[in-house]
A and B are shown apart, each in its own frame.
Chain A
Amino acid sequence: MKVLVPIKRVIDYNVKVRVKADNSGVDLANVKMAMNPFCEIAVEEAVRLKEKGVVTEIVAVSIGPKAAQEQLRTAMALGADRSILVETDEEIQPLGIAKALKAIVEEEKPEMVILGKQAIDDDNNQTGQMLAALTGMPQGTFASEVNVEEGKVKVTREIDGGLQTVELKLPAVVTTDLRLNEPRYASLPNIMKAKKKPLDVKTPADLGVDMTPRVTIEKVETPAERKAGVMVGSVDELVEKLKNEAKVI
Chain B
Amino acid sequence: MSVLVYAEHDNATLNKVTLSVLAAAKEIGGDITVLVAGKGCGAVAEEAAKAEGVSKVLCADNDAYEHQLAENIAELVAEVGADYKHILAAATTTGKNFAPRVAALLDVAQISEISDVIDGDTFKRPIYAGNAIATVKCADEKKVITVRGTSFDGVAAEGGSASVENLDVVKDSGLSSFVSEELAKSDRPELTSADIVISGGRGMGNGDNFEILYKVADKLGAAVGASRAAVDAGFVPNDMQVGQTGKIVAPQLYMAVGISGAIQHLAGMKDSKVIVAINKDEEAPIFQVADYGLVADLFEAVPELDSKL
Q: Which residues of A contact B (CB under 8 A)?
A: 11, 16-17, 19, 26, 93-95, 98, 118, 120-134, 136-142, 144, 154, 157-169, 172, 177-179, 214-223, 226, 228-236, 238-239, 241-242, 246, 248-249
Picked from B101, B132, B292, B305, the residue with its CB within 8 Å of the CB of A17 is B132
Set of chain A residues within 8 Å of B140, measured between Cβ atoms? 214
Give 18 pairs: A residue, B residue, CB < 8 Å, sorted on A. A17-B132, A26-B127, A122-B127, A123-B126, A130-B103, A130-B104, A130-B110, A141-B96, A142-B97, A163-B181, A165-B179, A179-B231, A214-B138, A217-B134, A223-B126, A223-B133, A229-B293, A249-B196
Report yes or no: A129 in contact with B270, Cβ–Cβ below 8 A: no
| B56 interfacial contact with A, CB 8 Å | no
Report yes or no: B176 in contact with A168, Cβ–Cβ below 8 A: yes
Report yes or no: B104 in contact with A166, Cβ–Cβ below 8 A: no
Most buried by A among B110, B138, B183, B294: B110
Report yes or no: B128 in contact with A249, Cβ–Cβ below 8 A: no
| B129 interfacial contact with A, CB 8 Å | yes
Report yes or no: B113 in contact with A123, Cβ–Cβ below 8 A: yes
Which residue of A is nearest B122, CB measured?
A: A218
Contacts known (A141-B70, A249-B220); A219 close to B181, Cβ less than 8 A:
no
| B163 interfacial contact with A, CB 8 Å | no
Report yes or no: B308 in contact with A215, Cβ–Cβ below 8 A: no
Report yes or no: B179 in contact with A166, Cβ–Cβ below 8 A: yes
Number of residues on chain B facing chain A (CB within 8 A):
89
Picked from B129, B133, B181, the residue with its CB within 8 Å of the CB of A162 is B181
Set of chain B residues within 8 Å of A178, measured between Cβ atoms? 228, 232, 245
Report yes or no: B136 in contact with A223, Cβ–Cβ below 8 A: no
Contacts known (A214-B109, A235-B294, A239-B305); A133 close to B100, Cβ less than 8 A:
yes
Picked from A144, A159, A242, the residue with its CB within 8 Å of the CB of B292 is A242
- Please name 14 further chain A to chain B contacts, defined as beta carbons within 8 Å, in addition to the given A94-B110, A141-B96, A160-B92, sorted by A numbering: A126-B103, A129-B97, A133-B100, A133-B101, A138-B71, A159-B93, A161-B183, A169-B176, A178-B228, A179-B238, A216-B136, A221-B134, A223-B131, A231-B292
Contacts known (A230-B292, A232-B294); A242 close to B253, Cβ less than 8 A:
yes
A228–B29 Cα distance when bound, in Å, is 37
3 closest A-B pairs by beta carbon, nearest first, are A129-B100, A133-B104, A214-B109
| B295 interfacial contact with A, CB 8 Å | yes
Set of chain A residues within 8 Å of B263, measured between Cβ atoms? 16
Report yes or no: B247 in contact with A231, Cβ–Cβ below 8 A: no
A138–B72 Cα distance when bound, in Å, is 10
A128–B97 Cα distance when bound, in Å, is 10
Report yes or no: A215 in contact with B238, Cβ–Cβ below 8 A: no
Report yes or no: B304 in contact with A144, Cβ–Cβ below 8 A: no
Set of chain A residues within 8 Å of B275, measured between Cβ atoms? 226, 229
A138–B98 Cα distance when bound, in Å, is 11
Picked from A93, A154, A222, the residue with its CB within 8 Å of the CB of B179 is A154
Contacts known (A125-B112, A164-B181); A158 close to B238, Cβ less than 8 A:
yes
Picked from B132, B138, B270, the residue with its CB within 8 Å of the CB of A222 is B132
Report yes or no: A95 in contact with B108, Cβ–Cβ below 8 A: yes
Contacts known (A132-B101, A138-B175, A226-B289); A124 close to B128, Cβ less than 8 A:
no
**A-contact 0/1 string along B113-138, CB 8 Å cutoff:** 10000000010001111111111111
Report yes or no: B104 in contact with A95, Cβ–Cβ below 8 A: yes
A172–B70 Cα distance when bound, in Å, is 13
A91–B262 Cα distance when bound, in Å, is 29
- Shortest A177–chain B CB gap in Å is 7
Report yes or no: B304 in contact with A235, Cβ–Cβ below 8 A: yes
Report yes or no: B175 in contact with A223, Cβ–Cβ below 8 A: no
Picked from A154, A165, A172, A242, the residue with its CB within 8 Å of the CB of B181 is A165
Set of chain A residues within 8 Å of B239, measured between Cβ atoms? 158-163
A136–B238 Cα distance when bound, in Å, is 30
Report yes or no: A241 in contact with B292, Cβ–Cβ below 8 A: yes
Report yes or no: A142 in contact with B127, Cβ–Cβ below 8 A: no
A241–B105 Cα distance when bound, in Å, is 53
Report yes or no: A238 in contact with B294, Cβ–Cβ below 8 A: yes
Set of chain B residues within 8 Å of A26, measured between Cβ atoms? 127-128, 132
A21–B120 Cα distance when bound, in Å, is 27
**A-contact 0/1 string along B209-232, CB 8 Å cutoff:** 000000000001000000010011
**A-contact 0/1 string along B72-83, CB 8 Å cutoff:** 001000000000
